[in-house]
Structure 1
Amino acid sequence: MKVELLHIVDCPNTAIAEAHARAALDALGLTDVPVELVTIRTEAEAANSQFGGSPTIRVDGVDLFPTTPVRSLACRIYATGNGYAGAPTTSQIVGALPVA
């Protein structure tokens, strides 16, 4: 399993998304699966990577929370149980992972 966290430079939600992804993997016993940070630096990279906005969490190349890809260096918003947030919750990621 390959887990990637696509983000833009200085995204304020990268760290929280990474922490939630790590916690979700750990909760499922996938402690040996790394979360690879992938920085999207240009609009061309965004367009070529199926980037859904920063941060985007992909597993084996598939966005865990499918959305229309963006062609810009944009932030992403997630609907959570507590309203909108800049990253999905740990439980949302656990539910979206293909092993859950």
Structure 2
Amino acid sequence: MVFPPRIDILYIEGCPHWREALELTRSAARLAGAAEVDVIAVEVSSPEQALRLGFAGSPTILVDGVDPFAGAATGNLACRLFRTPHGPSGLPDSVQLAQAIRAAMAGRAGTPTA
């Protein structure tokens, strides 16, 4: 049995993309075969919190605690750009995100969630 990963969307107030990131992530999870995934939004409000959580700009999408888009955590409370097949974007490509979710599920096959 393959269990869905935990997915967190880290965002800052005023980010124009974080709500869309929630919907994109839910859609990508379904595409990856994880229909029952919980997507948790976490507002980042300080540089210290940003570093502690692994925030690499808003939105940061963490799949099982890992940023699949290789963003380096910074203390900067700023927006983020993703490299996509269509050029820079405020959101990752849905196929890229589905691949990251699928890889996380493959890595945890047979491991129950806590």
Q: Does 1:39 pair with 2:14?
A: no
Provide the residue aligned with 2:10 in structure 1. Answer: 6
Alignment of 1:18-97 (within 5 A): 18-97=22-101
Provide the alpha-carbon RMSD of the alignment: 1.3
The percentage of counterpart residues that share the same residue type is 35
One-letter identity of the residue aligned with 1:29 = G
Structure 1 or 2: more strand by fraction: 1
Question: Partners of 1:84 and 1:63 in 2: how far apart?
Answer: 17
Unmatched tracts of structure 2, length 5 or more: 107-114
SS at match of 1:58: strand
TM-score normalized by the length of structure 2: 0.81
SS in 1 for 2:58: coil
* More helix per residue: 2
> Secondary structure in 1 aligned to 2:10?
strand
Cα distance, 1:29 vs structure 2: 2.5
**Aligned residue pairs: how many?**
100
CA radius of gyration, larger in: 2
After superposition, give the CA deviation of every residue in 1:15-48 in whole Å (9 maximum; x if it has no partner): 2211211111011221111110011011111121
Misfit runs of 4+, over 6 Å: none
What amino acid maps onto 2:93 in structure 1? T
TM-score, structure 1 as length reference: 0.91
Gaps (5+ residues) in structure 1? none
